[in-house]
């Protein structure tokens, strides 16, 4: 089963990198796609296949500079799917929520996701 996905960033969409064999998911950049469903569907489909036979450890790294409300729904759906994998004991899942040290909105968004999920969400401030 091919569990690899690489999407290059654009002005309106983030870079997406998934290596299902090693349990690594990464979403970085800005997420304001014209059609969030079209953009996030391949990632959601792959994550659903991944959930059937996950790696022992899964890390979802999210490092967004900005995202819109439609993107937030898809991010939450992805994290809920991984929370189910975590709860099942099939994989130890951690979300790393990266934000610029001075970006309090992105920090608060990470805190909001953490409060909604039964999953370790580590907030990590970038100092660059």
For residue 22, give both structure tokens: 């090693």
The percentage of the chain sitting over the pLDDT mark of 70, rounded to a whole number, equals 98
Q: How many domains in the chain? A: 1
Q: Which contiguous run of DSSP H or E holds residue 19?
A: strand 15-19
User: For the domain that residue 60 is a member of, what is the CATH number?
Assistant: 3.30.750
Mean pLDDT calculated for residue range 94-108: 97
CA distances for 103 relative to 26, 67, 125, angstroms: 20, 13, 9
Summarised one tens digit per residue, pLDDT across range 40-99 is 999 999 999 999 999 999 999 999 999 999 999 999 999 999 999 999 999 999 999 999
Has residue 1 got a pLDDT over 60?
no
Question: Considering only CA atoms, which of 13, 24, 5 is closest in space to residue 66?
Answer: 13
Give the domain extent around 73.
Answer: 4-126
């Amino acid at each position: 089963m091919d569990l690899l996905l690489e999407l290059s960033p654009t002005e309106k969409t983030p870079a997406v990198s998934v290596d299902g064999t090693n349990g690594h998911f990464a979403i970085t950049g800005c997420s304001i796609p014209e059609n969030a469903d079209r953009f996030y569907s391949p990632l959601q489909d792959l994550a659903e296949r991944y959930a059937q036979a996950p790696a022992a450890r899964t890390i979802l790294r999210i490092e967004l500079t900005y995202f819109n409300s439609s993107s937030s729904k898809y991010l939450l759906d992805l994290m809920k799917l991984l929370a189910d994998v975590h709860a099942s004991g099939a994989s130890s899942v951690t979300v790393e929520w990266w934000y610029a040290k001075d970006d309090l909105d992105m920090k608060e968004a990470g805190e909001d996701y953490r409060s909604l999920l039964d999953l370790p969400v580590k907030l990590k401030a970038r100092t660059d």
